[in-house]
């Protein structure tokens, strides 16, 4: 069996800091969370940044730079995966729905990948498609995706194609066919996000069946479905993801004290199911870096 890659999504961008004080906020805290996740067994750190004053999601390149530099300065070999998701929310204005109202974060596509182009992480996420995301519109049009994909490719970074429903996979396949995304593609199947595909075995199996034959893939479920979906992905031959971005609890009623305990639990499940965890160096081979 191919070894299993564990991605740890260490903080995310949702307003979760009041729900669990272990959610890292500052670049120093986020970097340390990535280092702790690696020490616990994680292979990849998926990183958002936050405004240290408010704790809310940020697109500030300086925060990304400090976070990445701190990880690298610590001689931590975890693979770095920077998000490009922020800048895609649309909330129609009450008086004129053609104009974004409060909560809209729409940003030009090249601005959404500026930190990736400047910092050149190993991987960056690319959300392939639009949907209702809770109460907001999550807008990733084909033209914006083509622009972002080209900039990511020119920077020499591997995109992780985040797909939240089956149509997103079909769009990703079209981008691959048209040469905007290189082979072998890396997919992340994201389940349980309102109002995308539910976190069920049927959803995961159906979406996996739509992937290109040469795809490398992982999947995760949010909240209480984090570990059931981890086990399901492993059984189906995929890689996995955990972290405080997706789930704040180690078990029902018990808040996770950090990302490391979630990674440790993932390692236990992986080994109980007969696989083992890939190191960052092994992951580079699995992902086609070498």
DSSP character string of 150-212: HHHHHTT-EEEEEESSHHHHHHHHHHHHTTSSPSSPEEEEEES-TTS--SSHHHHHHHHHHS-
Task: Write down the mean pLDDT value for the chain.
Answer: 96
- Sorted by sequence, the CB contacts under 8 Å of residue 25 that are 6+ apart come out as 11, 17, 50, 52, 55
Domains and CATH numbers, the chain: 6-286 (3.20.20.70)
Task: State pTM to two decimals.
Answer: 0.96
User: Has residue 290 got a pLDDT over 80?
Assistant: no
Q: Residue 280 gets which letter from DSSP?
A: H
Q: How far apart are CA 139 and CA 17, in angstroms?
A: 25
Residue 222 Cα distances to 185, 190, 197, 235, angstroms: 23, 8, 11, 18
**Looking at the chain, how many residues does it have?**
290
Give pLDDT, residue 1. 57
- Tell me: the pLDDT tens digits for 236-260? 999 999 999 999 999 999 999 999 9
Report the pLDDT averaged over residues 82-105.
93
Structure tokens at 227: 């570990």
Q: Residue 96 gets which letter from DSSP?
A: -
- Tell me: the pLDDT tens digits for 176-198? 999 999 999 999 999 999 999 99
Structure tokens at 273: 């199911």
């Amino acid at each position: 069996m191919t070894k299993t890659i564990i991605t740890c999504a260490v903080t995310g961008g949702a307003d979760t800091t009041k729900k669990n004080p272990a959610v890292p906020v500052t670049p120093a805290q986020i970097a340390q969370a990535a280092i702790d996740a690696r020490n616990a067994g994680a292979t990849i750190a998926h990183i958002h940044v936050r405004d240290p004053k408010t704790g809310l999601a940020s697109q500030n390149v300086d925060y990304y730079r400090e976070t990445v530099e701190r990880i690298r300065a610590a001689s931590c070999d975890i693979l770095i995966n920077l998000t490009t998701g922020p800048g895609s929310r649309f909330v129609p204005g009450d008086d004129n729905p053609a104009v974004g109202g409060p909560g809209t974060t729409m940003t030009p596509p090249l601005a959404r990948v500026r930190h990736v182009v400047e910092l050149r992480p190993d991987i960056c996420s690319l959300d392939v498609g639009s949907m209702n995301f809770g109460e907001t519109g999550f807008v990733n049009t084909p033209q914006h995706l083509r622009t972002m994909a080209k900039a990511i490719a020119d920077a020499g970074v591997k995109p992780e194609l985040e797909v939240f429903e089956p149509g997103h996979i079909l769009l990703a396949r079209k981008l691959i066919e048209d040469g905007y995304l290189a082979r072998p593609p890396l997919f992340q199947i994201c389940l349980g996000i309102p109002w995308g595909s539910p976190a069920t075995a049927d959803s995961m199996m159906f979406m996996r069946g739509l992937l290109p034959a040469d795809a490398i893939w992982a999947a995760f479920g949010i909240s209480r479905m984090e570990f059931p979906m981890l086990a399901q992905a492993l059984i189906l031959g995929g890689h996995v993801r955990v972290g405080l971005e997706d789930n704040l609890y180690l078990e029902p009623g018990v808040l996770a004290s950090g990302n490391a305990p979630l990674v440790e639990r993932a390692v236990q499940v992986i080994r109980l199911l007969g696989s083992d965890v890939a190191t960052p160096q092994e992951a580079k081979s699995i992902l086609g870096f070498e």
